[in-house]
Structure 1
């Protein structure tokens, strides 16, 4: 299952959710509006709608007025998941340094890899190029730097 932020990170999917947040819409109108706004094909819009369906963000029901048409509606459960993810982000933000309370930030475990080692920026690895054992390499001795 995709993280709620991953779903809304894609502008086309975010716009579909925005359109559906105001009410249900037939698939034909969604396809036309989104395809026109983003200059993409109707099949590309259908691809994003399928992802949203598969992730439980939207649901589809037959249109009572037009039995051959389908209505899309945003699921409230997804919006609650998104709200929870934003709440978790605010919790982390409130623990940041400089808030008047001295405490170390609580880093969440990465959901995909709980034993993942933190990645050191290449600037912090200066002198370790080519070394896999973590020891710093010694600078080469040079005759032009000697003070004999």
Structure 2
């Protein structure tokens, strides 16, 4: 399965977000995912299996518990691939920041420093 196929699923992306906070048991992951997505524990287990089989998560046994954690290697590969495109949005973000700065300067020069006096007659 291609990395973007794995990450294309919102449940798997959410699981990775949870695991990014540190090691979690499969039960802890399942509880959050069931509450947020309304899917069964076996379905959550299948998503964990996809993440594990494709290298995005690793698991270790702790007695009867299975503890999952993010494996950063495939994420670094995706980041490297995205580097080819990063310049596109960085240019646009730079242009947006310039436009925002121009807008602020324009508002400062057109706005009066004190509010206009009110006519007190009704």
Q: What is the TM-score with the length of structure 1 in the denominator?
A: 0.56
Residues 9-34 of structure 1 show CA distances to partners (whole Å, capped at 9, x for unaligned) of 21000000000001000111111111
Bigger fraction of residues in helix: 2
Q: CA deviation at 1:49?
A: 0.7
The counterpart of 2:82, out of the listed 86, 103, 110, is: 86
In structure 2, list runs of 5 or more residues that go unmatched. 90-122
State the alpha-carbon separation in 2 of the partners of residues 74 and 15 from structure 1.
Answer: 12
Give me the whole-angstrom Cα distance separating, in 2, the residues matched to 1:45 and 1:86. 28
Q: CA RMSD in A?
A: 1.8
Task: Give the drift of 1:46.
Answer: 0.8
Cα distance in 1 between the residues matched to 2:78 and 2:37? 24
Pairing of 1:11-90 with structure 2 (within 5 A): 11-63=10-62, 67-90=63-86
Residue 145 of structure 1 is matched in structure 2 by: none
Asked which structure has the greater RCO (Cα within 8 Å, sep 6+), the reply is 2
TM-score (norm 2): 0.67
Gapped regions of structure 1 (runs ≥ 5): 95-148
Distance apart, 1:85 and its partner CA? 2.4
